[in-house]
Every structure is written in structure tokens, then in C-alpha cells.
């Protein structure tokens, strides 16, 4: 699939940073207003608070659409989660999958024979302590000197990459995302055998990043493994 393939979601494109890795992001209402919602997902979302149900349905609906588009159709099968929250497709060890949500936005990623991580972050206020914890020293100073909107956007671009990288390794906060070195205005890079891409979309100033491992065996249990460490995680953003 070519990078930037069109979708039924106006202005949204499937990104393909490398062969076999695809990701897509959109607003909740865009996804739920256009794409069909699987019955299994409606059942799973029943009883959740309205805001949580919306992000649950939108993220899984977006993932199912992406799977269909890249030839890995999950049909109406379940999208399950490991104890730490990482999503996987029961009985389907081939594709690695990842989900993210942030303030009305969702993102999904698929990796054929790879582990993947995706993250979307709506820019939000960020204090000096968090800037210095997550950013390289000189970059923290540079961001702190920017106007508020630019500081929020710059930090969100850095943190999406950090989150995507640790999620690709099957970790949440236990992976210490703030220790992943990411430059300002990130585009592509590699960290601890994990590759990442952070395309910039001019239509919406909402950063999205995707990370992936090299192709791996998918026979290491539910959802596969990255060949680096087991998927016994703490929390991941699903």
C-alpha cells in the first residue's frame, strides 16, 4: 500500500513508513460517523461511561478498517487486550496491532509480522518539570522559551514518539518513555532496535507517531513478541 493511501475519512490518510507497517489517526466522531461498528465492540463497550465507550468503539473500529485495507481483515473477531492493556487479535499471531486515544482522537497501527506501537497526543499544557524530564536538556530550554501553543505542540511531538517506542516493545510507563532520546521536530529515527516515524500533517496540529520492530516470530504467545523481552507489561494506552 502506498504511503498516504486515501480513506473514507475526509482528509485522513493511511501512512506506510515501511513495507508492512501502517497507521491511521482520526477524530472519534469521524470514525463513528462513517465506518461500521462491529457487534463485538458494541458488546465490549456496553456499560462504559459515554466518553470511554466512544474512544473504545472509535479506536477498534479504526483498527478493523485499517486491517481490512492492508489485507489482514479481522472480520467480527474480538480485539482483546493483555493484562497490561496491549491489544492483540486472538488466534491471529501474524499482525501486531496498537491503539491510542487522546482527547477525542484515536489512532491505530498494524505491523505484518512485527510488533508496533502508535501514539496520538492532542497538545495540552506542559510544565517545566515535565519538559525537563522528557526532553533533551537543550531542547527543554528551547521549548520553555516558546509561546504557549508552540510549546504544547513541540512537546506533544516529542512525547508521541517516546510513547510509540515503548509500546512497540510491549511496555507502557514501565518502559520509561521519558528516557527515549527524541529531538525537537522529530521525523524519523531508531532507538534500541525500534524504528520510528512521526509524519507531520498540515491539516491538524495533532501529533501522531508510529514505531515498529524488525520482523519477528509471531509464535511466542498471544499477540507475539519482539524477541527482546516478554509482553508482561504494566499499562499501555489502548
Q: In the structure grid, which three cell numbers stand for residue 154, read together?
A: 513541540
Is the per-residue pLDDT at 115 higher than 70? yes
Confidence of residue 223 (pLDDT cuts 50, 70, 90): very low
DSSP state of 20: T
Instruction: Work out the average pLDDT over 95-115.
Output: 96
Name the E strands within the chain: 5-6, 13-18, 21-27, 80-81, 87-88, 95-102, 105-112, 116-120, 188-191, 194-197, 208-212
Residue 203: the pLDDT is 61
Is the per-residue pLDDT at 235 higher than 50? no
pLDDT tens-digit readout, 35-52 = 999 999 999 999 999 999
Instruction: Record the pTM.
Output: 0.89
* Residues above pLDDT 90, as percent of the chain: 73
Is the per-residue pLDDT at 231 higher than 50? no
**Average pLDDT across the chain, whole number:** 88
Is the per-residue pLDDT at 116 higher than 90? yes
DSSP state of 37: P
Burial class of 130 by CB neighbour count within 10 A (0 to 12, 13 to 18, 19+): middle
Q: Which residues pair with 100 in a beta bridge?
A: 107
Dihedral, CA atoms, 124, 22, 51, 84, nearest 10 degrees?
A: -90
Is the per-residue pLDDT at 227 higher than 90? no
CB atoms within 10 A of CB 93: 18
d(CA 50, CA 39) in angstroms, rounded, equals: 17
Is the per-residue pLDDT at 230 higher than 50? no
SS3 133: helix
Report which of 193, 184, 172 is spatially closest to residue 237, judged by C-alpha positions: 172
pLDDT tens-digit readout, 69-89 = 999 998 888 999 988 788 999
SS3 205: coil
Amino acid at each position: 500500500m502506498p504511503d498516504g493511501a486515501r480513506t473514507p475519512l475526509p482528509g485522513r490518510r493511511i501512512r506506510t513508513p515501511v513495507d508492512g507497517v501502517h497507521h491511521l489517526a482520526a477524530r472519534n466522531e469521524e470514525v463513528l460517523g462513517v465506518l461500521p461498528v462491529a457487534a463485538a465492540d458494541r458488546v465490549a463497550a456496553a456499560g462504559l461511561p459515554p466518553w470511554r465507550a466512544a474512544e473504545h468503539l472509535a479506536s477498534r473500529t479504526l483498527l478493523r478498517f485499517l486491517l481490512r485495507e492492508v489485507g489482514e481483515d479481522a472480520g467480527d473477531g474480538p480485539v482483546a487486550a493483555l493484562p497490561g492493556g496491549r491489544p492483540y487479535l486472538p488466534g491471529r499471531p501474524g499482525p501486531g496491532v496498537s491503539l491510542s486515544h487522546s482527547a477525542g482522537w484515536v489512532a491505530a497501527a498494524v505491523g505484518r509480522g512485527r510488533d508496533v506501537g502508535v501514539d496520538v497526543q492532542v497538545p495540552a499544557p506542559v510544565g517545566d518539570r515535565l519538559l525537563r524530564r522528557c526532553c533533551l536538556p537543550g531542547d527543554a530550554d528551547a521549548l520553555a522559551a516558546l509561546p504557549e501553543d508552540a510549546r504544547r505542540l513541540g512537546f506533544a511531538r516529542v512525547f508521541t514518539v517516546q510513547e510509540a517506542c515503548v509500546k512497540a516493545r510491549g511496555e507502557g510507563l514501565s518502559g520509561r518513555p521519558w528516557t527515549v532520546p527524541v529531538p525537537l521536530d522529530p521525523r524519523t529515527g531508531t532507538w534500541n532496535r525500534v524504528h520510528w516515524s512521526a509524519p507531520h500533517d498540515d491539516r491538524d496540529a495533532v501529533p501522531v507517531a508510529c514505531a515498529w520492530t524488525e520482523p519477528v516470530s509471531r509464535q511466542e504467545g498471544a499477540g507475539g513478541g519482539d524477541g527482546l523481552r516478554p509482553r508482561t507489561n504494566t499499562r499501555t494506552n489502548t
